[in-house]
A and B are shown apart, each in its own frame.
Chain A
Amino acid sequence: MIDERKEEMAALYALGVLDPHEARAFEEELRANAELRQFVDDLVRHSAALAHAVPEKTAPEHLKGKVLQKIRAGNEPGSTVVPFTRPARPVSWMPWAMAAALAVFCGLLFSDRAKLKSEVAELQKQTDVCQMQVAMLGAMDNQSRHGVAVVIWDPSSQTGVLQGEDMPRPAANEDYQLWIVDSKYSQPVNAGVFSVDGKGVAKAVFKPDHPISGGKFAVSIEKKGGVSQHEGPIVMASK
């Protein structure tokens, strides 16, 4: 049942006019309420339809060339997440082999998190020989509602793999975003956004915006498409 207050919050949220703290509080409600999420998605869809009502303009012809040039250059700062099956650039076989092994671990063990933790620790020992890091990300509030995720990070290629399970989908106008907290930077470094499928599974290959010498991993919920600097709530982090 969506009462009038929730309808009001949903409308304000869909139009992006809530203050940041109100938006974060409402996002907490959204994560726990599938009916409300669906309602918000519906309002976002109808808000977006306002684009049909604007006076028509023709995009300049030269713009297409500029856009294509930009995507070919591929050096735009910001998002670097690419589909799990397509790394941004060739990387050594080892991270992918480890990722595959991890996927198996995750598939088998997400129902037993204590065991997963010990297996991750063991995997970390094994990966020491190839200088890779394995980190388990848990919910910030020790509750399971944000699921669990594991990151494998290869410092030599500056590339990582994330796999998450049991993760609730964010609202339609939000994305999960991965960050790396490296002490040499004053702000967490963006490692891109990632999606969660209908089964709560997230898979992503990432390459952070800046060179990373080591640190912790964290996941926040940000507005659609991600942000250059962390704004939203951190929902998962590595120890």
Chain B
Amino acid sequence: MKSADTENTRLLSRIAQGDEDAFTLFYDQFAHGLYSLVFRILNDARETEDVLQEGFTQIWKKAATYDGNRSSAFTWAVMIMRNKAIDHIRSRQRQARVVEEAALASPDEPDVQEDDGVFQNEKKVIVRAALEKIPEEQRQAIQLAFFSGLTQMQIAEKLGEPLGTVKARIRRGLLKLRDSMNGAL
């Protein structure tokens, strides 16, 4: 486990004990990155704030369930926020509009305002470089899957491709992404 992961695991352990200072440190470290992620999914500042509040409240309450042997604190927090954002899309029936926006948005469009320490520039470079190595159709399928909340069938319909093709693209693309980033995260 890397030192940052170890430190974040300790923070979550303290949060589980009700340590508000630890929670504040955790918030400071992850808030901007998580806000960026949720905004990328919802494309709505007010809803993004709602999701962040729900997500951080969940982190506060569920810190005791975090398992450092299974995932990093970063992965854990990202998946909580991402799931909440997707739930938000589905519950508000906003899917069609958001999908259109997601498909149009480029993942690497520059809008850099600051670096928050965890979502480091180095990692951004690694992930973006890894994404660029993936063929366009695979990258598109992965991004629709991760950011839009569509099911595989809906992705196939959206892309106008057979379901089997979409599944294969997601598998190949995600494995390539993993191989390109391997050891760098």
Contact = CB atoms under 8 A, between A and B. Distances in A.
Interface of A: 4, 7-8, 11-12, 14-19, 41-60, 63-64, 66-68, 70-72, 76, 78-83, 86, 169, 172-173, 175, 193-195, 198, 204, 223-226
B161 to A, nearest CB: 14
B69 A17 contact: no
Contacts of A15: 142, 145-146, 170, 174
Contacts of A82: 16, 61, 64
Interface of B: 16-18, 20, 23-24, 27-28, 31-37, 39-40, 45, 49, 52-54, 56-58, 60-62, 64-67, 69-72, 74-76, 78-80, 82-84, 86, 107-115, 119, 123-124, 126-128, 131, 142-143, 145-147, 149-153, 155, 167-168, 170-171, 174-175, 177-178, 181, 185
Contacts of B109: 55
B174 A14 contact: yes
28 contacts: A42-B178, A43-B178, A45-B75, A46-B181, A46-B185, A48-B78, A49-B185, A50-B107, A51-B37, A52-B124, A54-B39, A56-B112, A57-B35, A66-B53, A70-B56, A71-B61, A80-B61, A172-B67, A172-B70, A173-B79, A194-B65, A195-B65, A195-B67, A198-B69, A204-B64, A224-B76, A224-B83, A225-B62
Contacts, number: 218
Given A63-B35, A225-B58, A8 B168 contact: yes
A167 to B, nearest CB: 13
B27 A56 contact: no
Given A51-B37, A67-B57, A193-B62, A59 B31 contact: yes
Contacts of A51: 33-34, 36-37, 74, 78, 82, 119
